[in-house]
Amino acid sequence: MSATCLLNNTPDADIVAEFEPRIIGFLCNWCSYAGADKAGSSQTPYPPNVSIIKVMCTGRIDPQFVMKAFNEGADGVIVLACHPGDCHYKEGNLRAAQRHAMLIRVLEQMGIEGKRCRFDYVSAGEGEKYVQVITEMVATVKQLGKLSLID
């Protein structure tokens, strides 16, 4: 059951503040994972809500991986790729972006808000951007609340 204010149908602020979302992050080995490592090595604080799965290329992420993450209790999924033109596998990141656009439509048809699945670009030198993207994703999923799937 969702905790909402009866007057304006918005999430109760106390419930939102207590809720800590579980987010699965698929990160490119060559860029995004290195960006996460840079954020960590520079000791920049960011929310610890993301469990990282390192992939050689985001182009290798099957949409079923995202569906499985949601099915197994994730409240959100984030896919972080190399910037366009910087993919070690030429165009894997572009394929991932195309798949993500289609995946959002499928998720929404299944009743899962599109904002729960984010795609973005983070390079190896962008530790600050990694922190920003993760912080934004956690805030977005907190606002949406816990994902409850009906079997």
Domain ranges of the chain: 28-143
Task: Name the residue type at position 43.
Answer: Q
Nearest to 25 by CA among 105, 142, 131: 131
Return the residue matching tokens 């996460």.
Answer: 36
Q: Give the single-character DSSP code of 89.
A: T
Q: Which tokens hold the place of 146?
A: 């816990």
pLDDT value for 149: 82
pLDDT value for 13: 55
pLDDT value for 17: 60
Mind listing the pLDDT tens digit of every residue in the chain (151 residues)? Answer: 344 443 444 555 555 568 999 999 999 999 999 999 999 999 999 999 999 999 999 999 999 999 999 999 999 999 999 999 999 999 999 999 999 999 999 999 999 999 999 999 999 999 999 999 999 999 999 999 999 887 6
Q: Using only C-alpha atoms, what is the Rg of the chain? A: 16
Give the span between the Cα atoms of 112 and 70, in whole angstroms. Answer: 9
Give the span between the Cα atoms of 42 and 78, in whole angstroms. Answer: 22
What are 77's strand-pairing partners? 24, 117
